[in-house]
Structure 1
Amino acid sequence: MGDLKDRELIFVFTGPDGSGRKSVADSVGTTLGLSKVLSYATRKPRPGEVNGQDYHFITPELYDQLAAEGGFIESVTIRETHYGLRDKDIERNFQNKGCIYLILNPEGAEKLKQTYGEHVIRLFIYADRNTIETRQLAEGLTEEDVAMRLSHYEADMAYQLQCEHAFENYDLSHTVFDITNTLETYLKRNLEERD
């Protein structure tokens, strides 16, 4: 755990809930051919989410069993839902590709940075509070759910200063273009190191 080869990089997309980090991450990942590592969650899929594509949705009992076996490198509880990331999944994805990506909240991003150090490149995705509120209401969330998700907005925004890169996300294609260009510099660096 935490022992990666020089060329192996973990791109972590983070930022406030509702910032669009998932849409951005998946678009960038597809564009660059990166392998996605999924977290585990003990909640039901939200509208539009697919098991094995967005998360591994599992029961709380199975989560507890995996945790007891020391299976999670990172584990957080948010509003009674457990989220975890397994180091085995990271290692397996590195066997297929030299670089991988994940989508984590700031707490998870920080834990991964502490574990893998300079191999982790954090990409902070954000939008202003009103934009996020409008997006979440348009997705069909209740005002109560939106308020609960935005209750951590300021704390999440404060994490931006610790990340390697930050991108405003008001236009998905523009954001994806900027991030893709940024990550290309890391990927080219890795290709040069292989030669």
Structure 2
Amino acid sequence: MYELKDRSWLFVFTGPDGSGRKSVAEAVGHTFGMEKIVSYVTRQPRPGEVNGQDYRFISHDSYREMESHGEFLESVEIDGNLYGIRSLDVESMLEKHDSAYLILNREGATILKKIYGDKVVRLFLYADRRTVEERQRKLGLPDDVISQHLGHYDTEMEYRGFCEHAFENYDLAQTTYEITNTLENYLQRDLVDKD
């Protein structure tokens, strides 16, 4: 297994679907010039998702073949779809950069935490149930997908207490600022004016 260097960090953005974790993660990643490690998934792209940017969309058979070769660091099944992070992607990213970020559900975040311990910092984003439902409707997600997500809402919210940091996300700019301040403590980049 790959050993993370002393200065390396993996920042995991997690929380219920519709919490805004993708928008915040991308804004924070951009602020720090930090790259994203992209997960593999067997489901179809949703409205607005781009292959290779949001996920790497592959067939169930391709996923199982990669899994049989031990390519995945973590692999979980949610609502019949397989999600995984490839070991090689983590290793090659951290060979080039000190730190990277991922957007994962609670299962994936927990697995990475077990593997890399204190080098994984989980950032939990959340909003109330009505808000996350409205956000998903604005994205144009089908009703059955929204229902599936809302079925996981309470379980996802329980994970907040296990994460290193939690942020209520109703204002993208404010949440991004708060998380940037938090990550500054780990990265020591002097990007944030503390006055």
Question: TM class by shorter-chain length?
Answer: over 0.9
Correspondence for 2:10: 10
TM-superposed CA distance for 1:44, in Å, is 1.5
TM-superposed CA distance for 1:141, in Å, is 2.3
Classify the secondary structure of the residue corresponding to 2:11: strand
Q: Superposed, which structure 2 residues align to 1:136-147 within 5 Å?
A: 136-147=136-147
Classify the secondary structure of the residue corresponding to 1:7: coil
Structure 1 counterpart of 2:151, one-letter code? S
Q: How many angstroms apart in 1 are the aligned matches of 2:108 and 2:26?
A: 18
Structure 2 counterpart of 1:91, one-letter code? E
Query: Are the counterparts in 2 of residues 8 and 94 from structure 1 also a CA contact under 8 Å?
Result: yes
Please provide the CA RMSD for this pair: 1.1
Cα displacement string for residues 21-74 of structure 1 (whole angstroms, at most 9, x for unaligned residues): 011101100111111100001111111111111111111111011000011111
Cα displacement string for residues 57-110 of structure 1 (whole angstroms, at most 9, x for unaligned residues): 111111011000011111011111110111110010011110110000011100
TM-superposed CA distance for 1:2, in Å, is 4.9
Q: Superposed, which structure 2 residues align to 1:158-173 within 5 Å?
A: 158-173=158-173
1:65 lines up with 2:104 in the alignment: no
Structure 2 counterpart of 1:186, one-letter code? Y
Correspondence for 1:87: 87
Correspondence for 2:120: 120
Identity of aligned residues (%): 56
Q: How many angstroms apart in 1 are the aligned matches of 2:119 and 2:142?
A: 38
Query: Are the counterparts in 1 of residues 48 and 139 from structure 2 also a CA contact under 8 Å?
Result: no
Q: How many angstroms apart in 1 are the aligned matches of 2:138 and 2:52?
A: 25
Correspondence for 2:104: 104
TM-superposed CA distance for 1:4, in Å, is 1.3
Give the 4+ runs in structure 1 shifted more than 2 A.
141-145
Correspondence for 1:184: 184
| Unmatched 5+ stretches in structure 2 | 190-195
Q: How many angstroms apart in 2 are the aligned matches of 1:121 and 1:62?
A: 30
What's the TM-score, normalizing by structure 1? 0.94
Structure 1 counterpart of 2:65, one-letter code? Q
Correspondence for 1:192: none
Structure 1 counterpart of 2:183, one-letter code? L
Correspondence for 1:156: 156
Query: Are the counterparts in 1 of residues 39 and 83 from structure 2 also a CA contact under 8 Å?
Result: yes
Query: Are the counterparts in 1 of residues 136 and 146 from structure 2 also a CA contact under 8 Å?
Result: yes
Q: Superposed, which structure 2 residues align to 1:10-49 within 5 Å?
A: 10-49=10-49
Q: How many angstroms apart in 2 are the aligned matches of 1:142 and 1:77?
A: 20
1:130 lines up with 2:165 in the alignment: no
Aligned length in residues: 189
Structure 1 counterpart of 2:54, one-letter code? D
| Unmatched 5+ stretches in structure 1 | 190-195
Query: Are the counterparts in 2 of residues 2 and 116 from structure 1 also a CA contact under 8 Å?
Result: no
Q: How many angstroms apart in 1 are the aligned matches of 2:33 and 2:168?
A: 23
TM-superposed CA distance for 1:112, in Å, is 0.4
